[in-house]
Amino acid sequence: MLFLASNGYRCIAHDRRGHGRSSQPWNGNEMDTYADDLSELIEKLDLKDAVLIGFSAGGGEVARYIGRHSTQRVAKAALISAVPPLMLKTAANPAGLPIEKFDGIRLGSLADRSQFYKDLASGPFFGANRPGARVSQGMIDSFWLQGMQAGARNAFDCIKAFSETDFTADLKKFDVPTLIIHGDDDQIVPIGAAALRSAKLVKNATLKIYPGAPHGLAYTHQDQLNADLLAFLKT
């Protein structure tokens, strides 16, 4: 955001309900409400010709927002390491992850979520478990801090929201220029069940694959991502 704002763009970040500086309500921790929260913010600020950029579960929020509220106020969209169309492995989505993977995340969140976030950040999220990876302690600490700022209930419910929500119908409603960026070594959101399928569902989408990039490419491939987003905004 600092990079794009420094290049003359108004950048607005909203904290998902239950995360960051948002309140931590017990209910509404699912994609329909996430999308409606985003819509309320956009309406309140009277944003027009907005470019919606969503990372990971945030990409699901962008997709569901467009599915529920159209692109009337949206000029472009970008999905970064995003979860659509569906993370869960099903008969119709064999490239997805089995439910046991997400049950394991739930168990880790309940047993010791602080340590779980540290293990996730120092392992697959940034690709730190790959030979030659350069993942700083600061990156790990930043991930942990962001995770711990979320309410326990909110973060727990979000697991189901990002893993089991089917965004296929939402993606088919995209009618604005859309940039899809994904790393081909994403161990969190497999590219085969995500970006490769999304690029086929979104009309005239532009797909950029970062070779060897992990899920957290916004940190590990920051310069490349910044350049691609800036170029996309300028076109």
pLDDT for 9-67, tens place per residue?
999 999 999 999 999 999 999 999 999 999 999 999 999 999 999 999 999 999 999 99
* Residues annotated as part of the active site: 56, 186, 215
Residue 76 bridge partners (DSSP): 51
Determine the Cα–Cα distance for residues 12 and 223; give it in Å rounded to an integer: 20
Per the structure, how many domains does the chain have? 1
pLDDT at 146 (0 to 100): 95
Look at residue 95 and tell me whether its pLDDT is greater than 90: no
Determine the Cα–Cα distance for residues 186 and 103; give it in Å rounded to an integer: 19
Residue 77 buriedness (CB in 10 A; 0-12 / 13-18 / 19+):
buried
Query: Residues for the chain: how many in total?
Result: 235
CATH number for the domain harbouring residue 162 = 3.40.50.1820
Q: Per-residue pLDDT tens for 172-217?
A: 999 999 999 999 999 999 999 999 999 999 999 999 999 999 999 9
N-to-C CA span, the chain: 18
pLDDT at 63 (0 to 100): 98
Instruction: List, in sequence order, the alpha helices (H) in 47-164.
Output: 57-69, 99-120, 137-148, 152-164
Determine the Cα–Cα distance for residues 77 and 203; give it in Å rounded to an integer: 12
* Matching residue, tokens 């500086």: 21
Residue 79 belongs to what domain range? Answer: 2-234
Q: Per-residue pLDDT tens for 120-155?
A: 999 999 999 999 999 999 999 999 999 999 999 999
